[in-house]
Each structure stands twice: as structure tokens, then as C-alpha cells.
Amino acid sequence: MAPTLAEPFADSSALTEFVINQGNGVKGLSELGLRALPKQYIQPLEERLCMTNVVQQESIPIIDMSNWEDPQVAKSICDAASKWGFFQIVNHDVPVQVLENVKEATYRDQVLDYMKKSEVVIKQLLQVLMKGLNVTEIDQTKESLLMGSMRTNLNYYPICPNPELTIGVGRHSDVSTLTILLQDEIGGLYVRADKGDKNWIHVPPIKGSLVINVGDALQILSNGRYRSVEHRVVANGSKNRISVPIFVNPKPGDMIGPLPELVASGEKPIYKQVLYSDYVKHFFRKAHDGKQTVAFAEL
């Protein structure tokens, strides 16, 4: 039986029962028409995003992929992965109509089409990024390590009655090699402005674009050359929001560490070799807490 609106989920066990045990999730919670957040969702002030910390004059790079073999395009991708850890790509050959159909979740075959076409784009990006590390030959072993598996999520963020009191998704990095993200027109994705900086940059939705970000696995494989950066999603008080990420990961049984070519060229490794499944387990044992997880792989 759904709780009343007068004092929703005053008992935390009732919230756990409804959201988790009964499988209603946050979506089910939103559909109850609550006029106020349950106290369990109210976040400490320091965890909420203060708009005075949003840098209005900066944005992550937007890269035109229409001629992806152009050396300047390759340089832009490598520079963005090194400095920002995030960039948007346009003219990437995934049809805009496919992206729109995916957002509407109308046809399953369109979702699969999105994955297949995105896989080609991901392979192109990884080839460029490896060449930026002077890893010019991508053999089957390396390709498996970089792109062992792909998982697609459909993220749904319902309207929040008190968006100023909570967070959508807390600050975190991704555990992946690369993440390729389709976001809708609502926006709400923010990226940490710089290492150690308290400021954030909004990633504005651009029709037909895909957001690319470096994950922890690629930061480790690149010996820190490419940055896995904190990001977060803010709650929205007026509209539902969806996003569709594809997470590209090594296989669970792969060992990840600085690529041998980097160590052979004289770079001092800053990460050890770790079993990817062990890293993932460590990642998911912890709450979203920024970049602390990557310390698990540090020497």
C-alpha cells in the first residue's frame, strides 16, 4: 500500500521497502506525487551544486568528426582527453533520427542500431587515442583490453519536488575505458572544471551530438595521460530527464595497468597492474565520492 502524502516515509524502513524491496525505485517514488522529498534524500549543503560555482564562460570541446582521419581532429581528441577528460562529438555518422528514436525508446531495433553504429565511432576514437600515446599497432590483445565489453543503460531522472535540497547523481568518475553518452534536451550534466577545482562546467545538450568521457580504466592504461574526470547530474524540478550511456570496458579477467609501450619508452609507471574485476568490485563498494577510487590502482 502506498504511503500517504502527509508525512511520506517518516520511517526509513518503509522507504527501503517501497523503493528497493518492492522494486519501485525513484521513478515509483516520483509517481506518488510527493510534494516534498523524504528526509533520506536531503543532502548536506556541501554536496549540493551551488550555481555560483558553475563556470559560465567555459565549455568542454566540441569536435567535428566528419573528417576523423585529419591529424588536427586526432590532436583535438587527444588534447581534450588529456586536459578535460570530456568532449562532445558531432558529425559522427550515427544518424540523428536514430538518436531521436533511442531517446523516445520507441523501437528496440533502433537502440541496437545505435549501439552498432556507436561501436564503429568508439573504435575510431580509441585508435586515435592510442596513436596519441604512440601505440600505433592495435593488435587483437590490445583491442580486447580496451574494448572487451559494452553495456548500455537507460537512465531516467524524474521530476524532483525540492531540487535545491538534493542531488541527481553524486560526483563520480566512470569505471570504464570510454563512455559514450546520448543526453536529451533537458541538460543537467556537469563536469569538474579542473583537477582540485571546486568549480563545475555544464555540458549543454547539442542535437545530434554524443558526449564522450574517459573512464578510470583508460586513465590507468594511459599512465595518467588521459584523465577520468568527476561529473555529476543535478535534480530537475520541472521536467523528467533521460540519458543513454554506453560503457566500454575491459573484460573482467583483463589485467589493467600502464601500457607496455609507455613503460618501454621510459615513462615511470604511476599505477600497478590490477585485475579489472577487482577494480570494479572496489569501485562499487564505495559511494559516489569523486576520484578516490582510482587510488586503488596507484603504486
- Looking at per-residue pLDDT, the higher value among 194 and 297 belongs to 297
Least confident range from 37-41, 233-237, 247-251: namely 37-41
Q: Could you tell me if residue 217 is inside a domain?
A: yes
pLDDT at residue 11 greater than cutoff 80:
no
User: 242-278 burial string, b = 16+ CB within 10 Å, else e?
Assistant: bbbbbbbbbeeebebbbbeebeeeeeeeebeebebee
Which residue is listed with cell 569505471? Answer: 175
For residues 129 and 85, give the distance between their C-alpha atoms in angstroms, rounded to a whole number.
12
Across residues 186-213, what is the average pLDDT?
Answer: 89
pLDDT score at 222: 97
- CA distances 279 to 167, 216, 251, 258, Å, are 26, 10, 12, 15
**Cα of 37 vs its chain's centroid, Å:** 26
Quick one: pLDDT band at residue 8, thresholds 50, 70, 90? low
Amino acid at 177: T
pLDDT score at 104: 81
107-123: pLDDT as tens digits: 667 778 888 889 999 99
Predicted structure pTM score: 0.90
48-75: pLDDT as tens digits: 877 768 887 688 999 999 988 899 999 9
Q: Could you tell me if residue 215 is inside a domain?
A: yes
Q: Could you tell me if residue 295 is inside a domain?
A: no
Nine-digit cell at 116? 552498432
Q: Could you tell me if residue 209 is inside a domain?
A: yes
Counted domains in the chain: 1
33: left (phi over 0), alpha (psi -120 to 50) or beta: left
Q: Could you tell me if residue 246 is inside a domain?
A: yes
Instruction: Give percent of the chain with pLDDT exceeding 90.
Output: 47
Q: Could you tell me if residue 273 is inside a domain?
A: no
74: left (phi over 0), alpha (psi -120 to 50) or beta: alpha
What CATH number is attached to the domain comprising 117?
2.60.120.330
Least confident range from 192-206, 224-238, 268-282: namely 192-206
Across residues 267-296, what is the average pLDDT?
Answer: 88
Contacts of 193 (CB under 8 A, 6+ apart): 55, 58, 199, 200, 201
Q: 90-94, long-range: CB within 8 Å, 24+ apart, which pairs?
A: 90/62, 90/63, 90/64, 90/65, 90/206, 90/208, 90/209, 91/64, 91/65, 91/66, 92/65, 92/121, 92/210, 93/65, 93/117, 93/120, 93/121, 94/118, 94/121, 94/210
For residues 233 and 49, give the distance between their C-alpha atoms in angstroms, rounded to a whole number.
9
Query: Residue 59: which domain range?
Result: 50-251
DSSP readout, 53-67? Answer: GB-TT----EEE-TT
Strand, coil or helix: 213 = strand
Q: Could you tell me if residue 220 is inside a domain?
A: yes
Q: Could you tell me if residue 20 is inside a domain?
A: no
